[in-house]
Amino acid sequence: MKRVSLVTKILGLVLSLSLFLVLLLTSCFAYMEGMQIAEDKGNLAMELSRTISFMPSIEESFELENPSEVIQPIVEKIRKKTGAEFIVVGNAAGIRYSHPQVSEIGKPMEGGDNGRALEKGEYYTSEAAGSLGLSIRGKSPIFDREGNIIGIVSVGFLVEDVRHQIFKALSTEIIISLVAIMISVLGSYMLARSIRKDTFGLEPFEIANLYKEKNAVLHSVKEGIIAIDQNGLITSMNQQAKKILHIRESVRHLKVDGLFPSSYLFEVLKSGKPQRDKEIFWKEKSIIVNCTPIFDDNGGVSGVVASFRDRTEIEEMINTLSEVKMHSEDLRAQTHEFANKLYVLSGLLQLGEYEEAIEMIQSETSELKSLNRVVFDQIKDAKMQALLLGKLGKASEKKINFEIDSQSYLEKLPDHIKLSQLTLILGNIIDNAFEAVFDGKEPKVKFFTTDIGNDLIFEVCDNGKGIGEENIAHLFDRGFTSKMGESPRGYGLYNADQVVKELGGIIEFQNEEENTVFTVYLPKVQRGEEEG
């Protein structure tokens, strides 16, 4: 189905309404104008007839032998001056004493409408057909000195002339109406063009489609989106934004203050410059915000659109990637270490050094039994087992003595502690310990864990160079590092500290004479569950 353009719709509507109004008003005007002209002609005819009937010369001429000789010149002069179609004077029997056509004098008056004047002496108007055609007539009786009716005066205007006068009056109105129609068409065309300019040349159905697409896009993106006008009133907000900001009801046309950190929005609204990747804290949440100004046709800022995302989601993604990378490195180290041992064992067997090969196997078996006894018998959680086995392989590759305290004991971890969180906390602390002792003469890292009491306790001790006094205050700051290198550093302990805080725990560290000890305390029960 072909769609009708906006210009056609407006022109069609305006033209239809204009024609309807013009026809309606013209018809009403024609009717009222016709009635008024007919009434005016009737009144004029009656007043003329009354005036002539009161003329003494007309009354006295009735006593003459041939009254028409006196009456005809008088009434013809009056008729020509007043524009009447005819003025007829007749006697009591209706015989004409005057007429515009001289040949009609002496003949009976036509029309049959003289009765009221000749019989009752009334003054009135009537419409009847005579010798000259259908006319509007004014009738007046003529009285003598004694008050007797001796004749009648009839003044008439042809109906055809009245109609011609009506049409002449209407022609002016019709011209004015046509001009009004032309002006309305021109105005509607200019209005349609102005609307199209305001809508960037789009038709209404195209605007509707864009609105539907905008809503679909707005609610399909995973980022929260909020838009405000130049007064700070919210014009749109998607569902993800409401979810992040914990808003349920409609906020359209409400002030953004109190619902969202508005300082960045108003700064962009004032400066017209976008803000990129701004990290702000709002109601115990860390949010990454991007603000973009909306410009009007004159180059002024008419609003701002802000897209934002809870940094927790970004951190979870980063943590997951870190976890995968860490496990991959640990598995690679473990594979590399066992491959080296297999090469050595293969060499001993090829050289016939069977006793040394058997001694090596027994040594490795004894070491594995000791480690497995702690890892598999005393630590019951599969997530911790996987983490420790990976770190054991990595320590073996780096020639670091990684010892798991024989007194360690751990049941299955609570459900609210995820593998990614555990990897992020202990993985970073253990890796930092490995780096701290890597250059030492006898590198040693010791791990201990227990779940006795209300907290889970994890302790990592290393015999590295320790932490300088000048670095203690910045140890958990984001991006802080005392190591050199091109790869990004300074995020391990910061991320570990953030996750520990999310779980409601704490991290402690001690600088002893020969050891550095990091201790992590994680509550077994979340705060909300404990309060419940």
182-228, pLDDT tens digit by residue? Answer: 888 888 788 877 877 777 777 777 777 777 777 777 766 778 888 88
| Chain CA centroid to CA 345, Å | 74
CATH 3.30.9.10 assigned to domain 353-531? The reply is no
**Per-residue pLDDT at 246 exceeds 90:** no
**Per-residue pLDDT at 479 exceeds 80:** no
Nearest to residue 260, comparing CAs of 275, 276, 247?
247
**Per-residue pLDDT at 238 exceeds 50:** yes
Contact present, 109 and 120 (Cβ < 8 Å): no
Angstrom distance (rounded) from CA 100 to CA 75 = 9
Of 239-253, 369-383, 390-404, the one with minimum mean pLDDT is: 369-383
Give pLDDT, residue 485: 47
Give pLDDT, residue 461: 92
- Retrieve residue 260's tokens: 């969202």
Between 169 and 372, name the one with better pLDDT: 169
Instruction: Work out the number of other CB atoms within 10 angstroms of the CB of residue 79.
Output: 20
**Per-residue pLDDT at 529 exceeds 60:** no
Angstrom distance (rounded) from CA 81 to CA 217 = 86
Top mean-pLDDT range of 203-212, 265-274, 370-379, 516-525 = 516-525
User: Once rounded to an integer, what is the mean pLDDT over residues 7-17?
Assistant: 79
Angstrom distance (rounded) from CA 217 to CA 386 = 42
Angstrom distance (rounded) from CA 495 to CA 518 = 15
Using CA atoms, how far residue 354 sits from 22, 341, 409, in Å, is 120, 15, 38
Angstrom distance (rounded) from CA 486 to CA 321 = 20
395-445, pLDDT tens digit by residue? Answer: 877 888 888 888 889 898 888 888 778 888 888 889 888 888 877 778 899
- Retrieve residue 279's tokens: 């990290």
Contact present, 41 and 155 (Cβ < 8 Å): no
Residue 512 backbone phi and psi in degrees, to 5: -90, 180
Nearest to residue 429, comparing CAs of 512, 334, 495, 333?
495
Nearest to residue 269, comparing CAs of 300, 304, 296, 299?
304
Of 184-193, 324-333, 352-361, the one with minimum mean pLDDT is: 324-333
Which is it for the CA torsion 203, 204, 208, 210, positive or negative? positive
**Per-residue pLDDT at 102 exceeds 80:** yes
The identity of residue 232, as a single letter, is G
Given the candidates 3.60.15.10, 3.30.70.360, 1.10.1240.10, 3.30.450.20, the CATH classification of the domain at 6-165 is: 3.30.450.20
Angstrom distance (rounded) from CA 112 to CA 137 = 12
- Please state, for a pLDDT cut of 70, what percent of the chain lies above it: 86
- Retrieve residue 104's tokens: 């009609």
Angstrom distance (rounded) from CA 74 to CA 71 = 5
User: Helical H runs in 54-140?
Assistant: 56-61, 68-82, 115-120
Of 34-48, 137-151, 187-201, 322-336, the one with minimum mean pLDDT is: 322-336
- Please state, for a pLDDT cut of 90, what percent of the chain lies above it: 5
| Chain CA centroid to CA 99, Å | 84
Of 147-161, 244-258, 303-317, 325-339, the one with minimum mean pLDDT is: 325-339
User: Once rounded to an integer, what is the mean pLDDT over residues 455-466?
Assistant: 89
Instruction: Work out the number of other CB atoms within 10 angstroms of the CB of residue 50.
Output: 16
Helix 419-437 to helix 492-502 angle (10° resolution) is: 140
Give pLDDT, residue 527: 59
Angstrom distance (rounded) from CA 509 to CA 472 = 10
pLDDT category at 531 given cuts 50, 70, 90 is very low
Give pLDDT, residue 130: 73
Using CA atoms, how far residue 370 sits from 239, 366, 396, 403, 510, in Å, is 55, 6, 15, 10, 29
Outline which parts of the chain fall under CATH 3.30.450.20.
6-165, 223-310
**Per-residue pLDDT at 487 exceeds 50:** no
- CATH fold for the domain made of 223-310: Beta-Lactamase (3.30.450)
Of 82-91, 304-313, 331-340, 349-358, the one with minimum mean pLDDT is: 331-340
